[in-house]
Amino acid sequence: MYGIIIAFKDYRPSLGILGSKLVGFKHFMRFINFPNFGLIVTNTLRIGVYSLLTFPFSVILALMLNEVHNRTFKKTVQMISYMPYFLSTVVVCSMIRLFLNGKTGVINAIIVALGGEACDFLTVAEFFEDIYVWSGVWQGVGWEAIIYISALSGVPVELIEAARVDGAGRLRIIWNVNIPSILPTIIIMLLLSCGGVLSVGFEKTFLLQNSLNLSRSQVITTYTYEVGITGAQYSYSAAIGFFNTIVNVVLLGMVNLISKKVSDISII
């Protein structure tokens, strides 16, 4: 928390944090008035909201696996689905580059075999969000599903048996018993996801970024790195990071308030 002070100062390493000049909200205003402020925030929101829209996939996977009664098949599918989560971001990005390479990539080989034209996807700015988000779904959907599978294991068997006695089929049981039972877990996970909508991962964005897709891949975290580490503008980068955190906290508070009023479920 002590380091946040430099966001309000014109920090100089030689003077230290306390010895540097206090400039108030100068760096915050500099970021807001930056010509590319709108582009950076829009890119961040576009990727963040797009990622948020994929939230149901882990819930759907958990519900599907919960209906599988063959333990061997179920464990195998579950293991295959969550293994990508343990791959480092560097490895994932290397795989993406190999698969989407314009000359030797597997995807382009299939496209050419079907009579299409090869495309170097990572150099086309419009494809960046799709590549970022869907590779994230592949990497994280299995791991996130574990939470919902655990929640589903706590659904009372009596409720399911009562529904079957009343003539409910599988889909009816899923809709009227399973989903309502894990709804608090779903809402809490959704709230946490909403609170991080502006926290687009730096590592993956930076590793997939190039000069040709910069118009869609420049987000708050990569710009903070650019001015803070590369440009040594420590106070400015601290102000940008603090701005990002404040917006995320406000968003989390808003969606939490809405959730509390609508469903009486909150994380605060």
pLDDT in tens, 106-153: 998 999 888 888 888 999 999 999 999 999 999 999 999 999 999 998
Query: pLDDT confidence of 169, banded at 50, 70, 90?
Result: confident
What pLDDT is recorded for position 142? 92
Please give the Cα distance from 233 to 20 (Å, whole number).
13
What pLDDT is recorded for position 2? 63
Query: pLDDT confidence of 1, banded at 50, 70, 90?
Result: low
Mean pLDDT calculated for residue range 158-173? 87
Is residue 231 over pLDDT 70? yes
pLDDT-above-90 percentage for the chain: 53
What pLDDT is recorded for position 258? 87
The span from the first CA to the last CA of the chain, in angstroms, equals 21
Please give the Cα distance from 201 to 89 (Å, whole number).
10
Phi and psi based region of residue 115 (left: phi greater than 0; alpha: psi -120 to 50; beta: remaining): left
**Which domains does the chain carry?**
50-218 (1.10.3720.10)
What pLDDT is recorded for position 260? 85
Query: pLDDT confidence of 30, banded at 50, 70, 90?
Result: very high
Query: pLDDT confidence of 221, banded at 50, 70, 90?
Result: very high
pLDDT tens track for 82-93: 999 999 999 999
Please give the Cα distance from 237 to 96 (Å, whole number).
29
Residue 185's CB is within 10 A of a number of other CB atoms, namely 18
Distances (CA, A) of 116 to 107, 112, 148: 11, 5, 40
| 0.85 exceeded by pTM | yes
What pLDDT is recorded for position 23? 86
Point out the least confidently predicted range of 8-12, 61-65, 76-80, 91-95.
Answer: 8-12
b/e per residue 80-114 (b: at least 16 CB within 10 A): ebbebeeeebeebbeebeebbbeeebeebeeeeee
Using alpha carbons, select from 181, 142, 185 the residue that is nearest to residue 158.
181
Q: Which two tokens stand for residue 234?
A: 């420590």
What distance lies between CA 248 and its chain's CA centroid? 13
Mean pLDDT calculated for residue range 55-66? 94
Residue 133's CB is within 10 A of a number of other CB atoms, namely 19
What pLDDT is recorded for position 55? 92
What distance lies between CA 148 and its chain's CA centroid? 18
Please give the Cα distance from 149 to 63 (Å, whole number).
7
Using alpha carbons, select from 129, 136, 127, 140 the residue that is nearest to residue 100.
127
Is residue 11 over pLDDT 70? yes
